[in-house]
Amino acid sequence: MQVRNKSPWTRLSKLILAGAAALGPLVGTIWLVYIIYKLLLKVGDSMVHFIWRFVLYLSDHTSTPPQFPGIGFINFLLPLLVLLGAGFLLANPTGKRMLRVAEAVLIRLPLVGFIYKALSQFVGAIEGLEGERKFKSVVFVEYPSPGCRLIGFVTGEFQEHSECEGLTSVFVPTSPNPLTGFLILIENEKIRPSNMSVEEASKLVLSAGLVTPGEVRSEK
């Protein structure tokens, strides 16, 4: 049986896909760093204009902020210096007390308090992923029919007063976007444990099954 040679377009498309797979993560990282840089630069520029207008208001003059070589770098560093100063301030008891007073005032404000609490909980959840509140293990949940399994991350266990059996909270991510998903509460005996690590399961979900646990182990 004669085997047909691959067409030039097929070989060309494979080379393009190989180049995209090699340069994609690098370009994506550079693009994300650039976006963060532009964001900090814009925030710093707004801070400089605000400070300059405040100083001119006190001196009763009107003009624009001075422009000189390196002003862009200063605008970029200014938000980082503010965050660094806030970190040093909150590292001592006085700064923590000031933060608690500010939080108490914001929480009592209509609508503002709801937004602040929601953002605080979101930031706390992100920080908790690196601490004691990170995903504990990987499990399988049988859904939507017998024989089908969903990958889930165990987030905690607790005992419901109205239930005799213990319950486990499992976060089931969607693929290929693991940042969204749904939370289910399932009885402990209905959970099937998995030998995959959290990192392996995350790569499996993120790649929509293209990166299998065996391939992940072979990279290590």
Whether the CB-CB separation of 173 and 180 falls below 8 Å is answered with: yes
- Report the C-alpha gap between 138 and 65 in whole angstroms: 55
DSSP label of 8: H
Mean pLDDT of 116-144: 72
Which residue ranges make up each domain of the chain? 137-219
Residue 133 clears pLDDT 60, i.e. is over it:
no
The pLDDT value given to residue 3: 46
Tens digits of residue pLDDT in 150-168: 899 998 887 766 655 678 8
Question: Which CATH fold topology does 137-219 show?
Answer: SH3 type barrels. (2.30.30)
Q: Dihedral of the CA atoms 148, 154, 158, 161 (nearest 10)? A: -30
Amino acid at position 78, single letter: L
Q: What is the pLDDT of residue 177?
A: 74
Instruction: Answer yes or no: is pLDDT of 204 > 60.
Output: yes
Are the C-beta atoms of residues 159 and 167 closer than 8 Å to each other? yes
Give the pLDDT score at 201.
87
Helix axes 8-59, 71-90, angle to 10 degrees: 80
Say if residue 130's pLDDT is above 60: no
Global pTM reads 0.49
Q: pLDDT tens, 100-115?
A: 888 888 888 888 888 8
Q: Is 205 exposed, middle or buried (0-12, 13-18, 19+ CB in 10 A)?
A: buried
C-alpha 171/C-alpha 178 separation (Å) is 10
